[in-house]
Amino acid sequence: MLDDYDIQAERSTLGAIMAGGNRGYECLLPEHFSEPAHQKIFAAILKIQDRSDPVDVITVCAELKRAGEIDAQNLVYTIAEEVVIGTNAKVYAKQVIDAAAVREHARVIAKSGREIAKPGADASVCRNQLLDELIAIGQRAKGGGTETTKQMGARHIALLDKRRSGGMAGASTGFYDLDGLLGGLCGGTMNVIAARPAMGKTSAAFDIVRNFVREKKRCLVFSLEMPKAQCLDRLLAVEARINIQRIRTGMLRDAEWPKLSNAYDRAFNDYISINDRSGLSISEMRGLARQWAGNDEPGLIVIDYLQLATGDKGEGREREVASIATGAKDMSKELDCPVIAVAQLNRAVEARSPPKPMLRDLRESGGIEQDADTVTFIYREGYYDEKADQGTAEFMVSKNRHGPTGNVNVRWVGKWNTFQNLTKGA
């Protein structure tokens, strides 16, 4: 049942607008009003504004008369007698929007309760759907993310000042030449690292994670393929400069144990969080990422690898992968942090000579290319030709929504499973 206070707030809003209140209700929509007659009156107000005509009792009544809404027309006179001052339109409009959000919360929660009560319902799926809908309500109540350029201006001037002083728009990957192309990894972007198996996709992602950690930025890794222990083996091998195979087999030399101990704090810290649950859906990942982010600033999220996640079922695998990619992009925007989506390429790459990846190799993987802000392929000639240099690799930036594309040469250190800069950066 509606509160009389909410009804009065609606009438006061309409009255204030018709009395000359022309600012502060830009986020208001007809559906924010609970009473159908109030919705019709406000819809009429919007039509009048679209024509750039003045909004008052006379023009609103004329518009409602044209629409055949006689009951709403009669109500306008009653409302106009109740409210004769337009200065409080902004205050009243906020009350209407807040009340609409409360009603929408109640509706969504009730619907979720019905869904969870169904036989065979998946609790985690219902929970994450509920979270998605509740967050969407909150965003709509704040204007759906819409800001004036004046509201955005101060933040953007700070960004320009950062660029002028030599800083990048985003956070550094740790690879100087790659940063030169990408400008770092920015919040709200989905960055794909793709390659055939054994090229070093996960290694590259972990190298970037390690650089974020050096800058005291928090990272969340969804390791859908490797268990946590294997992830930690990789971190230790790089930080301690110990052959990863000896770490995996336990065949460590006496001199290596002190190196392992010294690397412990660099590899194991509060900045890296790992979730290794298999078959996570993109909705579950978004829910877990929200919990992880909390009230602290998130630095980076890694999905390893994208095609192992689950998405919308029922319309084929390509559509499912597309929904996963879209969810990853939405997660980056919602949390305002970059997402690295590791992606695996199919065997078609190896049918060409040389077997260098191209964007068309991703087009069979749903909407990954479409949703990605950047796509970087990894190619190691030494993997295919034992006579070639085994210690070099290429990062091939084949899509960059905000800058140039190009290839970057890096060093590959297989015994540590890591990539390094060929030259020292400034």
Please give the positions annotated as active site.
Answer: 225
Task: Give the Cα separation of 74 and 70 in Å (integer).
Answer: 6
Cβ-contact 279, 308 below 8 angstroms: yes
Q: Are strands 406-413 and 272-275 parallel, antiparallel or unpaired?
A: unpaired
Among 94, 98, 87, 97, CA closest to 23: 87
Cβ-contact 230, 411 below 8 angstroms: no
Q: Which two tokens stand for residue 114?
A: 């019905």
Report the chain's C-alpha Rg in angstroms. 28
Residue 348: alpha-carbon gap to chain centroid: 30
Task: Give the Cα separation of 202 and 236 in Å (integer).
Answer: 15
Task: Give the Cα separation of 101 and 110 in Å (integer).
Answer: 14
Q: Which two tokens stand for residue 340?
A: 């690295």
Task: Give the Cα separation of 143 and 28 in Å (integer).
Answer: 8
Task: Give the Cα separation of 78 and 74 in Å (integer).
Answer: 7
Task: Give the Cα separation of 330 and 337 in Å (integer).
Answer: 11
Task: Give the Cα separation of 206 and 96 in Å (integer).
Answer: 48
Task: Give the Cα separation of 115 and 132 in Å (integer).
Answer: 15
Helix segments in 117-227, DSSP class H: 123-141, 149-164, 176-182, 201-214
Q: Pick left, alpha or beta for residue 388 (phi over 0 → left; psi -120 to 50 → alpha; otherwise beta).
A: beta
Among 397, 227, 216, CA closest to 304: 227
Q: How many residues does the chain have?
A: 426
Task: Give the Cα separation of 6 and 28 in Å (integer).
Answer: 15
* 12, 92, 231 from 22: Cα distances, Å: 14, 13, 58
Cβ-contact 355, 361 below 8 angstroms: no
Q: Which two tokens stand for residue 68?
A: 């055949």
Q: Which two tokens stand for residue 17?
A: 């607008």
